[in-house]
Structure 1
Amino acid sequence: MEKFNNAKLLSILVMIFILVGFMPTICKAEEKAEENNSITMNVSYGIDGKFKGSMAIPVNVEVENKGEDIEGQVEVRVPTNSYNTYDAFVSEVKLASKEKRTVTIPINLPEDCSKMSVVFTKGKNILKENKITVSSGRVNENDLFMAILTDDFNGINIKDLNFADLNNKNRKGEINKTVNVPLNLDSLSKGSKNISQLDVIVINNYNISNLQKEQYENLSTWINNGGTLIIGSGENASKTIGSIDKEFLDVNYKGTKDVNGYTLANLSLKDSSIKLQQGENPLIYLLNKGKGKVYIGAFDLGNKNIASKDNVMNTWKESLGNDFINKNNIRNRYGNGNNVPHQMDQLSNDVPVKEDFKMGVLISIFICYALIAGIIVYLIMKKLNKREWLWGVVPAIAIGFSLVLYLLGGSTRIQDLVLNQVNIIITDESGTSTTSGYVGIGSKYKDDLIVKEPNGASIQAYYSNNDNYNGRNKDANALTKLGTKTVYRENNSYYEFKGLSALQMKKFEISGHKEIVPKIEANLNYNSQKLVGKVKNTFGYDIKNLLVVSSNSVWDLGEIKSGEEKQTEVDTCASSGLNQYASNISKNYRDYKNSNDKKQNKEEFKDVLRMSSLLRGIEQSQLSKKSTYLVAITNIPVDYGFDFGEKSISKYDTTAIIQEINIDFTDTEGNLSYPLGYFKGEVAQADQNMDIDTQNNVVHGSGDMVLDYLVGNEINLLDLKVGYTENQNQKKSGLKGTVYIFNYEKNDYEAINYIVNGESLKNPNQYIKDGKVTVKLQGNDEEGIGSPQITVKGRAK
């Protein structure tokens, strides 16, 4: 009987396996390529085939539907550093029958990657796929990338600038050449990311009234992020300046006039300066806007009579060349390849701790629990002869202590999402503010994360050095797993991350956000190394630390409560600029940590390292266009408008407000007196081996370097000194060489005694002409040497 049962069971199992073998196999289908002949797709990349860097490279995909109406997605897939993993950049597309459409998708293509896959999908099915190799079109980082919006591309003289002369006398950096491409309205319509690679945009002989609101917004965002816009006028001023949106550029056009055979526009531009003029006629205006600049030529940029003149072309060459070199130098300082300062990257990644959970309290609670649950309760139950109740009393006590721990840990607990924001708000003299944000977003749990672009702002994901693409899988055929999905919908975008580890911060740079903050009321006077006056905090939030920065001088006004008006009289901080000040407070914190007196100074040093990193990032970015400005460190919250649905958020704000101010530099005798380092030296000429570090105010190398200091024509000099600012980070200060100053009466250089504070020069007006003081230094040592600074005293004309 047992054998029969075993044989019967074995037969049944064999029959089951046979039936399973004949049954159709069912499996979960992955994305599957099903070529659809009704869909055709052509792919190009860049702006007119050119692109620069690795971020936001525009990929242009022309899709044609020869079949029935279809809703799908165009998706560009780029390999990541993880095996078989790709990042997807997606645009949703609705195509009617017989319709052809071009979509532009900005992607991030790291330096070591040249392969990408472009697919058209419907649901999980791939209807069309193109494999693309990026083989040409990359613009060198030292090439000035210029796009021109005009009806006469070949007539623009500015596109043929030759920077060889500038490179020979300027060792701050080099420009290889100018790479020019035509620009069309479509590029301006599809978001500021698609033009973010451009260094310069030129608009000339073009009807600007064709621009729509979204195109103005994209152009404005691009400028605020560091772009340079040039607009020509002259005989075509009615098409350009006369048609421009006043909200975009507050310029008043008053017709034209003829001067020496060419036409100039009569212009009035609010908050602008004159970069070049001929007699009483302004030729080029300059307006600072956010991190970028706007130049307006009072003439048509295709006018041979004016545009070919040496002084005009030299002005364009020096202005654009220096702007480009300075921007490259700032980016090179970041050292992380994503155009984000290292300090901002670090701050947005590290969540600030509000409250430290005291370990002593935790130990005390556990001791109390052990005593109560293990001894006291036992003795009480024993005395009452109710020891059998311990099975219920001990768990109840444990629950009670757990509740106490839960409540005590409330200050350190985070919600579903962490929103860690570093905000930089820059306010100019007119009260207009621009905001730059660096935001880290992470989930409390291992989870998917969707980050939508807020209305009225643009976000760009960026990566740390830890996220580099080394070891990238370059085989586009092996990409099966999705990493980050970036979806562009109309003029907005959102990022979708899959299976993030807990508190793995995803970081974004935010631009275009408008934040209105009141101006700090300040009435300050500089006299005999002291800053005296009144400051009132009008923010509605406490200022943790208020600094006044004037080139290399930093005055620390300390904490100012909300609504408080503070009378101040402070000496100059012993630093060589904001970077050195940040180094000093970090050193003070380290000294405090190594001391035994930590309780007394705890509040003074709270978040001091975070403030130090923020100040370094501000200095590194060179955010202020003025030599004198306020920096207020606060916790003012900024609402960028992120929407995370039902998820709760733990939000942290570290905010710096930079405000341009005017300090009265008149001393008690009625003289104008400017501190050492107020006037910054611009490199006019330098030998091959000479280099100046403006961040730390030192010069390296052997050879000659000439520096120009623009003091201005509004002062009659009474005293002039040339010295240097001591830098505590350098092993030695001073110059192992010779320093000279140019004597305009003798038309020759004179050697001077180069000491820290400088020595007064006799007959100081011999050393200034057209508001300029020129200093030459000869270095003969490779070690760092003090960068020459000047201090000026005089009477206003």
Structure 2
Amino acid sequence: MKKYIIQLFVISVLLFSLLPGWGQTAAADTKNRLDIKIEAGLKGKAQYQRGFPVQLTITNNGEDFAGDLAVTIPKSYGSVGNMIIPIDIASGTTKTISFSIPSIERDFLQSQSNNQNVEMFHLYEGSWKDGKEVTIDSKLDLLPNYLPEDRLVLGVLSTNPDSLNYLKLSSHLGNSPELIQLDQEDLPKQSTGFEVLDVLVVHDYSIASLDQDVQQALMKWIEEGGRLVVGDTPNLSSKLGELANYLPVNVTETKPLTSFTTLEQLGQEPFGGAALEAAFGELQEGAEVLFSENDLPLISSLPVGEGAVTQIGYDLGSSKIIDWKGNKALWNTLFASIITAGAQDPKAQHMYEDFSQQLSDITSMFQSLANIPLSVLVLLFVLYIVVVGILLYFVLKRFDKREWSWIIIPVIAILSSVSLYMVGAKDRIGQIQTSTSAVVSLNGSGQGSGHGGVSMLSNDAGTYTMTIDSNLHPFPTGARHHFAPGSEAFYDSVPIIEVKEQQTVTSFRDVEFWTPRSLGFTLPFEEYGAFESSLVFDGASISGTITNNTRYSFDELIVLNGPSHFKIDALEAGDSKEVSIKTSKTNLFQPLNEQTIFSLYGYNGGPFLGNREEEAKRRLLEMSFWSGLLSNNNSEGQAGLFVIGFTKDHLVDVSVNSKETKESNLHLFAQALSFELPADQSISLNVALSHPDVNVITGQLHFNGVLRGEGFIDGTAGTYEFNYEVPSVLQKRGFEVKTFKLSNQSSHGNIASYQIFNRKTSAFEPIEISFGNNITKEQIDALIAENRQIRLRAVTTTNNGPIAVPAVTIEGVTKP
């Protein structure tokens, strides 16, 4: 018996030794093929839901290696991709690889099922397609040091960065900025990497000496919403290289500045002593003077795409500037100005749901995936019963061939099934389908930018590749993962992203039969054309001509003004049409609201109920509204007048499996319009100003509801200033204000008291929101400044509560 037990034990050992991995040492399993060190962010710092650069330092202590590194990037819960980084490194060497990623959803990296971190790196010898994975450190991650979300992030590029340390004393929305001093090796080669910054300040630095890739990335970052601030320095244009084309002022002379009235007003401190050398010149078309000295532009801004370049006419590192105590107040005011100059506040960009996710919901609902209506199915079933159960019986009975029913009934059943299948599959077989939708904002000068989404519909099971221009920053979206993050099944379901010769190829693996897969993308700032208009308000309507000077033909065009709208059935490229929008003097400057959308396309009754195209239009219009694209702050002179158009023209090149597709498109284009008042005629108007600029004097701002069309803000105890501006069309014509009223437009309560600036006493005075019933002409003149601005302040001693933003209503008469 003992002999048999020994024999059984030996046989068991031999059998186990045949299992994979038996007999290998633990060290062999855990030895990393490459040693990888990671620096994520600019100087290790990043902003939540923003892109950032990544630098890998790779050391190869083994044999020569060539392969792919797959980096799992969870941009959001519904948008995850594996970015492929090719690696080719010789034995015994160290190599540095830099790239940028769009953003990372921090909470996604923690698996909810097993409470373990998601493994973000997978290394393959050869191509990832071969699946020969080798061992690397499983604890590697891309998480940078995330900065507080309410903090302005300033980058500084200077040959003497310490000279700009006074910027640390400034604040924006009540918070001190995060100052990052950058070196040449820190600068990313993709615009996504610059998203860490809200503002980049350049002082006496040669941008022209940087790699061309870095210069292009910096220019694109500005076009996509970045803010660049440049101080004067000798040979400024040559130092900026191609960025010199974005300077607001073409400097023609430099002369000593001896009067400092504007600087002292901004800095709230005297600027005594010797003269300050300052540069002056001619404004570029589209540039705006923010602050002037002796009627000469001292600080100017030029909108560039969704961003802006601000030019300061003096040396930021001058000892006279460094020693001046007014820097803090000046830069506080400057930040409040440039953050809204030419673009929306970047801190507001992520208040709203991700455009890509919403667009994928639209594009993935192919018409061919629509279910046959229940009423049609019932009708077909009844018809089948009538034919098979009744009509066939009487026909066969008449010919005395009832035994044929054993053959005819199965044949009818087969033919019916095949027919139903062919009806349902006619648009799903053959050429692969793609559906694309985008929202494009035009600036009126011929340029624009936007967001888009594209989906493809598989016609068979397997792997599908979608190829699109890398400049569009494509990324998988619309994912519905059925596996726990961190599991092998989850990793295998994540799309693969490769960049090949300026094209991004996304591989969707294990795609099911007749299933959509989606990509989100951004449309860069480029030429699209514009709508030209010649419109006049006559007291009852806005009438005139609109010309389509874009490259696209529109199936439907809608002119919006507050609660009013006017539809144009179609407008081909190059054509013009007459429009007439009935409006009132009260509604003329009212902002667009949800009721306008509801009047056009009805209420949101759920996903794609009724007409799918009309539902998609409503969704695109809602996205434009809630993103702030159609707010009065984005309209010309705050006129509240917009034109939107829907086109089915081709916009973006997309191929699937390297082949052309059967494409369908639906895009929304939006542009602000302006109108004139009739010549030689006075018109009485009622103007409501409800969307002021918000500045923090003291305290900290947690939420700015004005950016979302809501009438309140939320912050700590402190003082908050609201600046209202009379529409420029009235400033240009001249507007005599007869009555002045304040009203509470918030339904969230209020914890503040208010003050209004009296320009005659140069002081803020207490005021009630209900103020304005018996106001005199002299009081009105004192409250409305010569630049047609009204300044209110809200003061609160309570932390974390709603602070109402009053609406200012002025009634008056235009000058003839």
TM-score by length of 1: 0.76
User: What residue is the counterpart of 1:102 in the other structure?
Assistant: 96
| Greater displacement, 410-419 / 179-188 | 410-419
C-alpha distance in structure 1 between counterparts of 2:31 and 2:13, whole Å: 36
Q: Greater CA deviation, 282-291 or 248-257?
A: 248-257
Q: Mean alpha-carbon deviation: is it higher for 199-208 or for 489-498?
A: 489-498
Distance 2:413 2:466 in 1: 41
Deviations 1:133-159 (A, max 9, x none): 678733222232233333332233564
For residues 354-412 of structure 1, the C-alpha deviation after alignment (integer angstroms, 9 at most, x for no partner) is 98844434333332232223332332233233444444444444455446545654788
1:333 to 351, 362, 366: 351
Contact 2:125 2:133 in 1 (8 A): yes
What's the secondary structure of 2:737's corresponding residue? strand
Query: Aligned pair in 2 of structure 1 residues 569, 604: CA closer, same or farther (>3 Å)?
Result: farther
Cross-structure match for 1:788: 807
Please name the residue that 2:3 is paired with. Answer: none
Q: Given the alignment of the two structures, is residue 154 of structure 1 paired with residue 162 of structure 2, yes or no?
A: yes
Is the alpha carbon distance of 1:559 and 1:527 closer, same or farther for their aligned partners in structure 2, counting shifts above 3 Å? same
Q: Which residue of 2 aligns with 1:181?
A: 181
Cα gap change, 1:605 to 1:699, in 2 (>3 Å): same
- Residue in 2 aligned with 1:640? 652
Alignment check: 8 A CA contact 2:546 2:579 kept: yes
Q: Please, which of 58, 64, 69 is the counterpart of residue 63 of structure 1? A: 58
Provide the residue aligned with 2:543 in structure 1. Answer: 532
Helix, strand or coil: the match of 1:196? Answer: helix
Could you list the per-position Cα deviations for residues 316-340 of structure 1 after superposition, in whole angstroms to 9, with x for gaps in the alignment? 3333256669736524532x5xx65
**Higher relative contact order structure (alpha carbons within 8 Å, sequence separation ≥ 6):** 1
Q: How many residues align?
A: 747
- In the other structure, the counterpart of 2:44 is 49
Alignment of 1:399-438 (within 5 A): 399-402=414-417, 404-406=419-421, 409=424, 419-438=434-453
| Residues 446/158 of structure 1: CA separation in 2 closer, same or farther (3 Å cut) | farther
Instruction: Letter of the 1:577 partner, please give it.
Output: P
298-307 or 735-744, which deviates more: 735-744
Contact 2:428–2:459, Cα closer than 8 Å, also in 1: no
Write the deviation string for residues 53-94 of structure 1: whole angstroms up to 9, x where unpaired. 255443311124466653222344579999xxx964431022
* Amino acid in the other structure paired with 1:767: L
Contact 2:742-2:769 at 8 Å conserved across structures: no
Taking every aligned residue pair, what percent have the same amino acid on both sides?
A: 16
Alignment partners' CA distance in 2, 1:368 and 1:717: 72
SS of 1:244's partner is helix
Offset of residue 632 of structure 1: 0.8
1:51, 1:96 → 2: CA distance? 32
Q: 1:29 to 1:200 in 2, by over 3 A?
A: farther
Determine helix, strand or coil for the equivalent of 1:381. helix
Q: 1:655 aligns with which of 652, 664, 667?
A: 667
Residue 377 (structure 1) aligns with: 392
1:262: how far off? 2.0
| Conserved? CA contact 1:692–1:699, under 8 Å | yes
Q: Deviations over 1:274-294 (max 9, x none)?
A: 122222332222122232222
Q: Residue 686 and residue 303 in structure 1: after superposition, are their counterparts in 2 closer, same or farther (change >3 A)?
A: closer
With over 3 angstroms needed to count, the CA separation of the structure-2 counterparts of 1:509 and 1:202, relative to structure 1, is farther
Aligned 1:671-750 pairs, distance under 5 A: 671=682, 676-677=687-688, 680-683=691-694, 693-694=705-706, 695-699=708-712, 706-711=721-726, 716-723=734-741, 742-745=757-760, 749=765
RMSD (Å), alpha carbons = 5.2
Note if contact 1:436-1:510 (Cα within 8 Å) is conserved in structure 2. yes
Distance 1:489 1:182 in 2: 30
The match for 1:3 is none
Matches within 5 A, 1:353-368: 357-368=372-383
Partner of 1:4: none
Which of 122, 126, 148 is 2:125 aligned to?
122
When normalised by structure 2's length, the TM-score is: 0.75
User: What residue number does 2:106 align with?
Assistant: 111
> Any stretches of 5+ residues in structure 2 without a counterpart?
1-7, 111-116, 127-131, 258-274
Amino acid at match of 2:218: L
Q: Who is 1:616 aligned against?
A: 625
Deviations 1:191-248 (A, max 9, x none): 222222222223332222234553343223322332212223322414434x325676
**What is the match of residue 230 of structure 1?**
229
Q: In the alignment, what sits opposite 1:774?
A: 790
304, 317, 336: which one aligns with 1:289: 304
Inter-partner Cα distance in structure 2 for 1:321 and 1:502: 53
For residues 775 and 789 of structure 1, the distance between their equivalents in structure 2, rounded to whole angstroms, comes to: 10
Residue 670, structure 1, aligned to residue 681, structure 2: yes
Distance 1:206 1:538 in 2: 40
The 2-side partners of 1:275 and 1:484 are apart by: 47
Offset at 1:663? Answer: 1.3
Which residue is equivalent to 2:560?
Answer: 548
Pair 651,318 (structure 1): closer, same or farther in 2 beyond 3 Å: farther
Change (3 A) 1:787 1:448: farther
CA separation in 1, counterparts of 2:280 and 2:92?
48
Q: Secondary structure at 1:520's aligned position in 2? A: strand
Tell me how far apart the structure 1 counterparts of residues 604 and 143 of structure 2 sit (CA, whole Å): 51
Alignment partner, residue 581 of structure 1: 595
Contact 1:233 1:298 in 2 (8 A): yes
2:139 — aligned with what? 131
Q: Could you say which residue in structure 2 is the equivalent of 1:9?
A: none
**Counterparts of 2:67 and 2:60, CA distance in 1:** 11
Query: Deviations for 1:682-737, whole angstroms, at most 9, x for unmatched residues?
Result: 3356887998632344247899865322337756542244447897xx7799x999
Cα distance in 1, alignment partners of residues 531 and 662 from structure 2: 29
Could you tell me how far apart the structure 2 residues matched to 1:677 and 1:357 are? 49
2:242 aligned to which of 241, 244, 262: 244
With over 3 angstroms needed to count, the CA separation of the structure-2 counterparts of 1:355 and 1:501, relative to structure 1, is closer
Distance in 2, Cα, partners of 1:618 & 1:69: 51
Task: In structure 2, give the amino acid aligned to 1:698.
Answer: G
SS of the counterpart of 2:345?
Answer: helix
Contact 2:545–2:578 (CA<8 Å) still a contact in 1?
yes
Distance in 1 (alpha carbons) for counterparts of 2:578 and 2:76 = 54
CA distance in 2, matches of 1:658, 1:310: 45
Map 1:190-339; keep pairs closer than 5 Å: 191-241=190-240, 243-244=241-242, 252=250, 254=252, 256-259=254-257, 260-264=275-279, 266=281, 268-306=283-321, 309=324, 314-321=329-336, 327=345, 330-331=348-349, 333-334=351-352
Query: In structure 1, what is the Cα distance between the partners aligned to 2:648 and 2:618?
Result: 18
Q: Separation in 1 of the partners of 2:776 and 2:429?
A: 62
- Stretches of structure 1 that go unaligned for 5 or more consecutive residues are 1-13, 168-173
Match of 1:5 in 2: none
Q: Helix, strand or coil: the match of 1:456?
A: helix
Q: CA deviation at 1:454?
A: 1.6
- 8 Å Cα contact 1:204-1:240 kept in structure 2: no
Does the residue aligned with 2:681 lie in a helix, a strand or coil?
coil
